Structure 1
Amino acid sequence: MEEGHLAARPQPIGAAPWPLPAGLHPLGEALLRVPVAPGAGPLPLIFMLHGAGGDPARALRRIDPIAEAALVLLPKSRGATWDVLEGGYGPDIARIDAVLAEVFAAWPVDPARVAAAGFSDGASYALSLAMMNGALFTHGLAFSPGFAAPLHVEGKPRLFLSHGTGDRVLNIDLCSRRLAPKLKRAGYPLTYLEFDGGHEVPEAIAQRALAMLQAD
């Protein structure tokens, strides 16, 4: 198996009742946010990664305005941040693959709307995962990323990048303004938005990311 590769895939599941009611549920060290009623048919999945020093609950608050539109899975990094920033892909990849497989085995997930998403360090990691696992992730939603570090690429998932022009944690000139042109040149379908603000995910930005995920 290639380093950074995820083997989990959505599974065909019939009209069985949802295994958990609407709300927030622990799933090992991860959290699963179940929507009330996002519509008929399989659910979109947003796999949302926290920033450095963060946690799943804080990551959920970043995208709370759009959480009702999808099944939201929020893992916890093994260390203070994601493994690629602490020595290389490995420990977190295994944990991510396991929790994704658990969700795919129990929930009707739409294979055409599986998004790797994240904020800050989590955005960098989500973007890298999407680029390495295009057979799984149809979308990559990166809110204020610092970089992308795929070891290999697979497919061309749709990518969404946003960044605040006043970000004092990850400077936009050193991060997204360098990253976005590289992704365009590489042929990725890219939506790139700058906003007047800091290291954050404004509601309007989250809504734009959701619109891209929901588009045909």
Structure 2
Amino acid sequence: MEEGQLLARPRLPAGEAWPLPPGLHPLGLGGARDGLLRVPKAPLPGPLPLILMLHGHGGDAARALQRIEPIADAALILLPESLGATWDVLEGGYGPDVARIDAALARILAAWPVDPARVAAAGFSDGASYALSLAMMNGALFTHALAFSPGFAAPVRIEGKPRCFLSHGTADRVLNIDLCSRRLAPKLRQSGYPLTYLEFSGGHEVPEEVARRALAFLDTA
């Protein structure tokens, strides 16, 4: 496996039955930092969109879910947790967190009717940077990247051109917009990534309207 590579792929199971009821379920990866799977409350027609949602520094699955709670019933949401305080690329390089994410994705994609045209890597803050990097390295899997207040992108290889949604608050005091998204967005455009870039009046957060805009973006091809 190449550095940062994810091998999991959607493969529609026979039928469209949901293997778990609506609500929160443990991922079952083991350890104190396991993560969650959020199943929509109401049945959705056809194959499900899948959002891999990654938390920020010092965060966890529950807090990551809170960031996109307004759209939680519109997709199957996979919420892994980093083994350290943040994701592995920020603590020495791609490795253990990539392996755990791949294992979780393989399990979910084998069991659930996931739409291969709507598979998004999403995240907030450090998680946004990590999700964007994973999407850029794994365009054969991820069709979209949803990056809420990212700081950077650090792909070690490039695969495909997933559609990218970036949002950032103009008053963000944690990750300064001038040093982060206002530098990152032009680079993505220059590299040929289909990009929607949204600035909003606010801080280090994901306003409800931004989450809903991201969901609408996930439905674009």
2:135 to 130, 134, 139: 130
Partner of 2:19: 19
Give yes or no for the alignment of 1:194 onto 2:199: yes
Q: Which runs of 4+ in 1 moved over 6 A?
A: none
Offset at 1:116? 0.1
Which residues of 2 match residues 110-149 of structure 1 at below 5 A? 110-149=115-154
2:190 to 161, 185, 193: 185
Partner of 2:39: 34
Residues 36 and 68 of structure 1 are in contact (CA less than 8 Å); yes or no, is this contact kept in structure 2?
yes
Partner of 1:68: 73
Q: Which runs of 5+ in 2 are unaligned?
A: 29-33
Partner of 1:9: 9
Partner of 2:159: 154
Offset at 1:38? 5.1
Tell me how far apart the structure 1 counterparts of residues 86 and 118 of structure 2 sit (CA, whole Å): 26
Q: Which runs of 5+ in 1 are unaligned?
A: none
| TM-score normalised by length of structure 2 | 0.96
Residues 159 and 189 of structure 1 are in contact (CA less than 8 Å); yes or no, is this contact kept in structure 2?
yes
Give yes or no for the alignment of 1:176 onto 2:177: no
Tell me how far apart the structure 1 counterparts of residues 43 and 195 of structure 2 sit (CA, whole Å): 26
Q: How large is the RMSD of aligned CA atoms in angstroms?
A: 0.8
Q: Which moved more, 1:5-14 or 1:111-120?
A: 5-14
| TM-score normalised by length of structure 1 | 0.98
What is the DSSP-based 3-state SS (H/G/I as helix, E as strand, rest coil) of the residue aligned with 1:130?
helix
Q: 1:172 to 1:16 in 2, by over 3 A?
A: closer
Tell me how far apart the structure 1 counterparts of residues 12 and 200 of structure 2 sit (CA, whole Å): 39
Offset at 1:14? 2.2
Q: CA deviation digits over 1:125-162, x for unaligned, max 9?
A: 00000000000000000000000000010000000000
Tell me how far apart the structure 2 counterparts of residues 18 and 75 of structure 1 sit (CA, whole Å): 20
How high is the sequence identity, in percent, across the aligned residues?
A: 79
Residues paired across the two proteins, number: 216
What is the DSSP-based 3-state SS (H/G/I as helix, E as strand, rest coil) of the residue aligned with 2:209?
helix
